[in-house]
A and B are shown apart, each in its own frame.
Chain A
Amino acid sequence: MSDDLVISDLAAGYGHQSVLHDLTLRAQAGRLTAIIGPNGHGKTTLLRAISGLIAVRTGEIRLGADRISGLPAEAVVARGIVHVPQGDLLFPDMTVLENLRMGAFLPAAARQEKTVLEEVYTLLPKLRDRENQIARTLSGGERRMVGIGRGLMASGRVLMLDEPSLGLAPIVIEQIYEVIAGLRRAGRSILLVEENAMRAAAIADQVHLLDHGTLNWSGTGAELSGRPELLETYLGV
């Protein structure tokens, strides 16, 4: 309850272009909430608005008692919202370990850096072997793991994952989703953005369909699977 992420009547966009409007959403603490929707309808924009990379125009975002909207990105992460961006956005000339350590840049996270790093290595053992490799030279799947690992290093209250399966081979997607399932079982609050509706439905507690910048349908993963017409109309499945 106290750590729910609550978005009310949100509007956001770029320059003259308005992307999100009238968007209201509650992502419950300890649950996995998925946002699905066709390409270009504002899923990434939503996460960027939450994490403060772009400005919120109207409406409000709260995490528990904290008002998040209006804060710059560096202040949002300090409140515990961690954004693992689409396309990873690693620091290409740093090693895997340096990338992970950047995740714990803020003092509160830095104090627990050693313990959390061990946890991340247990969850993503491949990263330990690649510790000293320069991020630029990693494969797509390895990059994704570094991106997720770096997000975990922040020890946040909410983890936002933007298209963690994008551009990966099926086996690697499988591995990444096993990691996400593990995080869900561990009781982490996760906001997952995914274009692949079936993937999201299979893992999420709650699914929201984002269509033309606003939420169009909400339900559980099982409910979504029982609505083939939704999938067909919006997702071309």
Chain B
Amino acid sequence: MDVFFQILASGLTLGAVYAISTVGLALVFGAMNMLNMSHGALMALGGYMAWFTMTGLGLPPVAGMLVAVLVCAGVGVLIYLLIAGPMLRSEGFETRVFIATIGFGAMLESVILMAFGPQPKPQPLAVQGGLSVAQVHLPVQNLLILALAMVLMAALALLLQKSRIGRAIRATAQNRDAARLMGVRVGMVYALVLAISGGLAAVSGITVSSLSSLLPNMGGDPMLKAFIICVVAGLGRVPGSVVAALFIGLFEAVVQYTVGVRFSFASLLLLVIVVLIWKPQGVFGRHQGVRL
């Protein structure tokens, strides 16, 4: 029984970390058919910005989080202005923006490497200590990550479903021309979506580095997993990707406990293959196009 709860707890934490990194990616793909390959670099940037604000400038954790989110949201807008926006009307947008963001991500990573060096750094935005509930040991950090993920997902769902700007985002995702005919300024929507995604990448980078450490290329693996989760859920399905993230976190925790850590990535890929044979559009995907 204790083992069961231990696996459940670590699986959910893993899932929560994945969920934060995945929804940003799914949101951008759902709204504008864009695979943002610089998402991993944005995660690293967020992690380092929190480190810089707290360790470098000596400011409190709240400031660290805020600076990281704002800087990465700003870089998200920059990606719109410099890359996605100018390409939007061109033919083959999906391929071009895919390649361009690989380049942008590599540049961003190099800048981080030059600014902060190649040695791993500890993430200061982390909480020590643990809670023991009925023989189950839970690090406070993990509980915080879980709570943070839940709050962020709820806020995003509220934004998308209830607010005027959320309606504009969904409308743009479902039919760009129709949204324009309703008076939606789709350029603003795209910039905003990339800003939100950037902010989420920052939070994600902080959580990931708080569980391991800061490295300029720390975003690579989480981004790869986020893509896997997006594909499993069906590209662009935002709520579906949260469910898939939690499921895959649990799956990984079970595999790690039963067959061993070194098999976890291989079994994840096996799962993806099975899912894609069973449902090529992803579990929550649909045949035509992309929907939020």
Q: B-contacting residues of A (Cβ < 8 Å)?
A: 51-53, 72-74, 77-78, 82-83, 85, 89-94, 98, 101-103, 105-106, 150, 154
CB distance B182 to A102 under 8 Å? yes
Name 16 A/B residue pairs within 8 A (Cβ), A-sorted. Answer: A52-B180, A53-B180, A73-B180, A74-B186, A77-B183, A78-B183, A82-B181, A85-B181, A89-B177, A91-B174, A91-B175, A93-B174, A93-B291, A102-B178, A105-B183, A150-B182
Q: Is B167 an interface residue (CB 8 A)?
A: yes
A53-B181 in contact given A91-B170, A105-B167, A105-B168 (Cβ < 8 Å): yes
A102 touches which of B167, B177, B185, B186 (Cβ 8 Å): B167
Greatest chain A CB density within 10 A among B177, B179, B180, B183 is at B183
Inter-chain contacts of B170 with A (CB < 8 A): 91, 93-94
Bound: A150/B174 CA distance, A? 15
Q: Which of A53, A102, A154 has the most CB of B within 10 A?
A: A102
What are the residues of chain A within 8 A of B175 when measuring CB–CB?
A: 89-92
State the Cβ distance, A94 to closest chain B Cβ, in Å: 7
Q: Tell me if A73 and B291 are in contact (CB < 8 A).
A: no
The listed residue (B168, B174, B184) touching A92 by CB distance below 8 A is B174
Knowing A102-B167, A105-B167, say if A94 contacts B174 (CB, 8 Å): yes
Q: Closest Cβ of chain A: how far from B253's Cβ, in Å? A: 33
Residue from the list A52, A53, A154 in contact with B182, Cβ < 8 A: A154
CB contact under 8 A between A93 and B177, given known A77-B182, A98-B167: no
| Sample of 15 more A-B contacts, CB < 8 Å, known A53-B177, A93-B292, A105-B171 | A74-B180, A77-B181, A82-B181, A85-B178, A89-B175, A91-B178, A91-B179, A92-B291, A93-B174, A94-B171, A94-B174, A98-B167, A103-B182, A105-B182, A105-B183
Q: Bound complex: CA of A154 vs CA of B178, how far in Å?
A: 13
Contact indicator A89/B178 (Cβ below 8 Å): yes
The CA-CA distance from A170 to B41 in the complex, in Å, is 57
Name the interface residues of B196-235: CB closer than 8 Å to any CB of A.
none
Nearest-CB distance from B255 to chain A (Å)? 34
In Å, the complex CA distance between A102 and B170 comes to: 10
Which residues of B have CB within 8 Å of A93? 170, 174, 291-292
Closest to A147 in B: B178
Report whether B184 and A74 are in contact in the complex, using a CB–CB cutoff of 8 Å: yes
Residues of B144-181 whose CB lies within 8 A of A:
164, 167-168, 170-171, 174-175, 177-181
- CB-defined contacts of A106 to chain B, threshold 8 Å: 182-183
B interface size (C-beta, 8 A)? 19
A residues less than 8 Å from B183 (CB atoms): 74, 77-78, 105-106, 154
Return the 3 tightest CB-CB contacts between A and B, nearest first: A89-B178, A73-B180, A106-B183
Closest residue of chain B to A108 (Cβ to Cβ) is B183
| Residues of B close to A102: CB separation below 8 A | 167, 171, 178-179, 182
| A77-B182, A105-B168 known; A85 vs B291 contact (CB < 8 Å) | no
Question: In the complex, what's the smallest C-beta–C-beta distance from B171 to chain A, in angstroms?
Answer: 5
User: Residue among B168, B174, B177, B291 with the most chain A CB within 10 A?
Assistant: B174
How distant is B26 from chain A, measured CB to nearest CB, in Å? 15
Complex alpha-carbon distance, A101 and B167, angstroms = 10
Given the complex, which residues of A lie within 8 Å of B185, measured CB to CB? 74
In the bound assembly, the distance between CA atoms of A101 and B162 in angstroms comes to 13
CB contact between A90 and one of B167, B178, B180 (< 8 Å): that residue: B178
A51 touches B174 (CB 8 A): no
For B186, the closest partner residue in chain A by CB is A74
Residues of A within 8 A of B291 (CB): 92-93
The chain A residue sitting closest to B91, CB to CB, is: A15
Chain A residues contacting B174 (CB-CB under 8 Å) are: 91-94
Give the complex CA separation of A163 and B184 in angstroms: 24
Report A-chain residues with C-beta under 8 Å of the C-beta of B168: 105
A91 to B172, CA, bound (A): 9
On chain B, the residues within 8 Å of A51 by CB distance are 181
Measured between beta carbons, the chain B residues less than 8 angstroms from A53 are 177, 180-181
**Interface mask (B131-155 → A, CB under 8 Å = 1, otherwise 0):** 0000000000000000000000000
Bound form: Cα–Cα A78–B182 in Å: 9
User: Bound complex: CA of A98 vs CA of B164, how far in Å?
Assistant: 11
B182 nearest in chain A by CB position: A105
Q: B28 to nearest A CB, angstroms? A: 18
Shortest Cβ gap from A47 to chain B (Å): 10
CA distance A83 to B183 in the complex (A): 11
Contact assessment for B167 and A85 in the assembled complex, using a CB-CB cutoff below 8 Å = no
Using A91-B175, A94-B170 as known contacts, say yes or no to A105 and B184 having CB atoms under 8 A apart.
yes
Q: Which of B179, B182, B291 has the most CB of A within 10 A?
A: B182
The residues of A that contact B180 with a CB separation of less than 8 Å are 52-53, 72-74
